[in-house]
Amino acid sequence: MKATRSWAEPYKIKMVEPLFMSTQEQREGYLKEAGYNTFLLRSKQVYIDLLTDSGTSAMSDRQWAGMMMGDEAYAGSENFYHMEDAVRRYYGYKHVIPTHQGRGAEHILSQILINKGDVVPGNMYFTTTRLHQELAGGKFVDVIIDEAHDPVSEYKFKGNCDIQKLQRVVDTYGAERVPYICMATTVNMAGGQPISMENLKTVRAFADKYGIMIVHDMTRVAENAFMIQQHEAGYSDRSIAEIVLEICSLTDAATMSAKKDALVNIGGFLAMNDPELYQKASNMVVVYEGLHTYGGLAGRDMEALAIGIGESVQQEHIRARIGQVQHLGQMLREAGIPLVLPIGTHGVFIDAKRFLPHVPQDAFPAQALAAEIYADSGVRTMERGIVSAGRNLETGAHNFPELELVRLTIPRRVYTQAHMEVVAESVVSVFEARDKIRGLKMIYEPTYLRFFQARFEPIQ
């Protein structure tokens, strides 16, 4: 008998969607057409889709039932009030403005709070978040701990903020040039790594000392809460809902891509406690998204979101969700695949620098590896390295991030353990033949968020 019992998914499957199988020869053709960018593949060319956990979750029967209760009034939809209740109850923020997705919230917040020449410290950048800060005239400064940039450090809270780095930002630029500190739960680009409650409390004390706001990127807050429950002293008997509420209580405002934690296919919001900020944001949302009671969403989407928020903090759900990610990570780790450790909460991140040590970073090793995994098995993954990092705005040179990663992102409640086994076998098979991977040349580079649409060709 095993010391601990196995866990299983806390649901059964009511409806299925067929997957598309293809041959390696077909996939090589599809890749060429897609410019070796997995974002440019058609979904029907993909077998197991681990591109992202964003908007790809399976909704529950309760969420689908909620969709049928959509109140599609232009103003004052009943579903908005359900969503507002859920945000207040589970996250504790007083005011909420719906947006079509996370970047809609980032846009509005950045335009209101950031002035030209401002500096925004954060626990590592996220692509859309940093771009909106820059477009508003700000500069992002990374204040995450050094361990986060080290794929082999097994520190449990690699999402933590380095308070000395934060202090240096304030000493260099002055607190008046820092409109807010951006704290993400969990940190996506570091490999889905959590921040500890203790660290967040320290950031809160720092922010209070200088009168600076904390903005919470709460995209995966329930996943972060699970890691606190499992690994931080004093939290093992606290519920996920209690921990989520405590995290939010340490921050002043939040941007949310509800397409992740909150189990919906589209949606997001901006939340805050300050009535003045709420007033400004609810005025701006009508310019870019829609009225402040729908913000670009249909009533039915807000209903699914209200229900999804409640489901996202259920212990059994989050345990199975992160359990599946850990299971895939463990299989790959045992097979000797170089990974970001500890294994994160929303995906397994392969360290492409160690997987392909013979491919220089400006030959885009992670992009090349993602293409090769797709060619091998039809499993779609995503680059999170030099292509995602973009260029330095001042010099125009590539940003060379420490982390050059391929992300195997697990959608919530979608795939089974057997799918995870097929994925692991494909990665191992590519690893065995890794010497033949040469890297890529970028032949088209868009101006913004280049990773979405850039095109490549293989280096011969």
Host H or E run for residue 405:
strand 405-409
30: nearest Cα among 405, 377, 452: 377
Under rule CB under 6 A, residue 367 binds ligand PM9: no
Under rule CB under 6 A, residue 329 binds ligand PM9: no
* CB neighbour burial string for 204-219, b if at least 16 within 10 angstroms, e if fewer: bebbeeeebbbbbbbb
Q: Which stretch binds ligand PM9 (CB under 6 A): 120-128, 169-177, 270-278, 313-321?
A: 120-128
CB contact at 8 A, 267 and 297:
yes
Q: Which of the residues 220, 321, 384, 407 is marked catalytic?
A: 384
Q: Which stretch binds ligand PM9 (CB under 6 A): 109-117, 122-130, 242-250, 272-280?
A: 122-130
| Residue 127 annotated among the catalytic residues of the structure | yes
Q: Which stretch binds ligand PM9 (CB under 6 A): 98-106, 114-122, 233-241, 434-442?
A: 98-106
Under rule CB under 6 A, residue 185 binds ligand PM9: no
CB contact at 8 A, 364 and 434:
no
State the Cα–Cα distance between residues 102 and 261, nearest whole angstrom: 12
* Residues in 188-247 at the binding interface with ligand PM9, rule: CB under 6 A: 188, 217, 219
Q: Dihedral sign for Cα 104, 107, 112, 114, please.
A: positive
State the Cα–Cα distance between residues 3 and 350, nearest whole angstrom: 30
Give residue number: closest CB to ligand PM9: 102
> In sequence order, what are the residues at sequence separation of 6 or more whose Cβ sits closer than 8 angstroms to the Cβ of residue 127?
189, 388, 390, 449, 451
Distances (CA, A) of 191 to 185, 188, 349: 12, 5, 6
Under rule CB under 6 A, residue 123 binds ligand PM9: no
| Residue 384 annotated among the catalytic residues of the structure | yes
Ramachandran bin of 378, using left for φ above 0, alpha for ψ from -120 to 50, beta for the remaining angles: left
How near is the Cβ of 358 to ligand PM9 at its closest, in Å? 28
Under rule CB under 6 A, residue 324 binds ligand PM9: no
How near is the Cβ of 274 to ligand PM9 at its closest, in Å? 21
Count of residues in contact with ligand PM9, rule CB under 6 A:
16
How near is the Cβ of 237 to ligand PM9 at its closest, in Å? 29
CB contact at 8 A, 195 and 344:
no
Under rule CB under 6 A, residue 52 binds ligand PM9: yes
Show the 3-state SS of 77-104. Answer: CHHHHHHHHHHHHHHCCCEEEEECCHHH
Backbone angles phi, psi at 391, to 5 degrees: -115, 155
| Residue 80 annotated among the catalytic residues of the structure | no
Under rule CB under 6 A, residue 49 binds ligand PM9: no
User: Of 60, 101, 196, 293, which lies in the binding site for ligand PM9, with binding defined by CB under 6 A?
Assistant: 101
User: Of 63, 79, 128, 224, which lies in the binding site for ligand PM9, with binding defined by CB under 6 A?
Assistant: 128
How near is the Cβ of 107 to ligand PM9 at its closest, in Å? 9
Q: One symbol per residue from 143 to 182: x for binding ligand PM9 (CB under 6 A), - otherwise; what is it?
A: ----------------------------------------
User: Of 121, 138, 179, 268, which lies in the binding site for ligand PM9, with binding defined by CB under 6 A?
Assistant: 268
How near is the Cβ of 324 to ligand PM9 at its closest, in Å? 17
244: nearest Cα among 356, 89, 117: 89
Q: Which of the residues 127, 255, 293, 345 is marked catalytic?
A: 127
Distances (CA, A) of 259 to 52, 57, 100, 447: 10, 8, 10, 25
| Residue 217 annotated among the catalytic residues of the structure | yes
CB contact at 8 A, 308 and 136:
no
Under rule CB under 6 A, residue 296 binds ligand PM9: no
| Residue 349 annotated among the catalytic residues of the structure | no
Of 63 and 345, nearer to ligand PM9 (C-beta) is 345
Q: Return residues touching ligand PM9 (CB under 6 A).
A: 52, 54, 101-103, 126-129, 184, 188, 217, 219, 257, 259, 268
Which residues are tagged catalytic? 74, 126-127, 217, 260, 384, 451
